[in-house]
A and B are shown apart, each in its own frame.
Chain A
C-alpha cells in the first residue's frame, strides 16, 4: 500500500486560487460548494507582520475520524491511502461532516458526502491532481510519502514543514513547507 500525500511550498504560493478553480472545473463541484480553498493568515503588528498562504483541502488523514464514524462503510481509505466516499453506500447522515475538524466535507446536492478525492481518477492514470498540475508557481507537489525517493519525501526530509491542527491526532497528509 502506498501513502499518497501533498507537499505545498508556502514560500512559492502567491494565493492566486488557481488550484480552487481547477478543482471546481475538474470535478464538477456544484455551485456554492468547494472542495478546496485558500486561507491567508496575517499575524503580528505592523510593521512586524507575517503572512502565510495555505491552499487547503481534505488532508487525507492517516487516522481519519470521518472514516471511523461512518456507519455504512461508505467513507473508506483506498490502496493509495486516499480517503474516498462510495456514493452508493452513503446515506447522507452527515456524521463525517461533523467529525472532520477541517470542515473539508459537505453534502452534495445529490445527497452524498463529498470532498476532495486527490483527483483519484487522474492519479490512477499516473497524473497529478488538477490543483497540482495547474499551479502556476509550481508550489504544489504530489507523491508517495512511503517512497523515500519521491519528490515529496525528499522535500520533507530537507525542509521545515507543518501540518494543520496536528494536535487532534488525525495525522494529516498535506504538509506545508515553511
Chain B
C-alpha cells in the first residue's frame, strides 16, 4: 500500500500542476503553421517559382503575418503580468528557450516583409508606389531573391524547432522531455502548412505538389510519433507513465481518434487517391490534417502538464 496525504492546497498547480491553458497550444500550433509556410514559400522562391504571379509564395507571407500575429496575441493573453512584457526584449537569457523564441519571433517579421517585397500585390503598389521600385531592384539582382528564399527557410526552421524545444527542455515534465519533440512539431507544422497551401493554391502544379508533399509529411509524422512513444516507453517509470497518458490514459481517446485517426490516418489515403486522380481534390482531407495538428498541440501541452515525477516519489 502506498498512501500520500498532504496539507497542500493549491488549486492552480494541484493536482495536475496545470498552469498553461488554451493560449499556449494555439500559439504553438500557429507558430508551427507559419514555420511550415515559411519553409514552403522559401523553397518556392529558391526554385524561382516567384516569377509565376499565381505562385503561393507571393501571397503566403500575408497569411503568415496574420497567423503569427494571432499566435503572438494568444501568447500575450497568457501572460499574467502583461505590463512587463517589454522585459523580454531588454535581456537575452542564454539558457531560456523562451528568450530565444521571443527574439526569433521578432526576426521572423522582417524575413516575411522581405518576401512581400519580391512581388508585392498591385493593391499595395497602388498605395505605396515605392514598393515597385524595390521589387524591380530585387529582380535585377536575382541572387538576392534566392537569399530571401533561404532566409525564409532558415527562420521557418528555427521557429518550428523552437516551439518544440520550448517544451522539451523541461525535465520536470516527462512527456515533453524528449529530443524528438521539435522534430514532431516541425513535421506537424509542415504538414499543416502543406495542407493549407493545398487548399488555397491557385496553381494546379503547386496544389498537386503540396498534396504529395503532405503525404510525405504525414507518413514521417507517424514515424516520429511512434519513435517518441517508444522512447518514453523504454525510459524511466515517469516516461512510461507519460506515454500511457496518451496510449491508454485520460488523453487516449483524443489522441487516437482526433490526432492519429482524423488527423493522419484518414486524410493520408484520401490525399493519395486525390494525387493519383482517383478522386477529386476536396478541402476535407487538408482540413482534417490542420485540425489534427491543432489538437496535437493541445494534447501534448495538456498531457505534458499532467505528467510529472511526483507520483513516483519514493
A contacts, CB < 8 Å to B: 17, 20, 32-34, 37-46, 49, 52, 65, 68-74, 88-95, 97-103, 105-107, 110-112, 164-165, 167-169
- A94 near B10 (CB under 8 angstroms)? no
Can you list 14 A-B contacts (CB < 8 A)? A32-B11, A33-B10, A34-B10, A40-B4, A41-B4, A43-B314, A71-B93, A90-B81, A92-B81, A93-B78, A94-B80, A101-B310, A107-B19, A111-B82
Query: Known: A41-B4, A100-B172. Is A94-B314 also a contact (CB below 8 A)?
Result: no
- B172 near A38 (CB under 8 angstroms)? no
Q: Is B97 an interface residue (CB 8 A)?
A: yes
Across the A-B interface, the 8 shortest Cβ-Cβ residue pairs: A92-B80, A101-B172, A111-B81, A37-B8, A92-B81, A71-B98, A71-B99, A68-B95
Q: Could you tell me the dominant secondary structure of chain A's interface residues? A: loop
Q: Is B20 an interface residue (CB 8 A)?
A: yes
B contacts, CB < 8 Å to A: 1-14, 17, 19-20, 78-82, 84-85, 87-88, 90-91, 93, 95-99, 101-102, 169-173, 236, 305, 308-310, 313-314
Query: Known: A69-B98, A71-B102. Is A40-B172 also a contact (CB below 8 A)?
Result: no
Query: Known: A71-B102, A91-B87, A95-B98. Is A169-B171 also a contact (CB below 8 A)?
Result: yes
- A32 near B171 (CB under 8 angstroms)? no
- A74 near B87 (CB under 8 angstroms)? yes
CA–CA, A167 to B142, complex, Å?
Answer: 55
- B308 near A69 (CB under 8 angstroms)? no
CA–CA, A107 to B80, complex, Å?
Answer: 8
- B12 near A107 (CB under 8 angstroms)? yes
**Chain A neighbourhood of B2, CB < 8 A:** 41-43
**Chain A neighbourhood of B90, CB < 8 A:** 72
Q: A37-B6, A100-B172 are in contact. List 17 more A-B contacts (CB 8 A).
A: A33-B10, A33-B12, A34-B7, A37-B10, A69-B170, A71-B102, A72-B99, A88-B84, A91-B84, A92-B79, A92-B84, A95-B96, A95-B98, A97-B13, A98-B17, A101-B308, A168-B171
**Chain B neighbourhood of A49, CB < 8 A:** 1
**Chain B neighbourhood of A110, CB < 8 A:** 81
CA–CA, A1 to B226, complex, Å?
Answer: 47
- A98 near B20 (CB under 8 angstroms)? yes
- B11 near A93 (CB under 8 angstroms)? no
Most buried by B among A41, A98, A100, A101: A98
**Chain A neighbourhood of B8, CB < 8 A:** 34, 37, 39
- B170 near A98 (CB under 8 angstroms)? yes
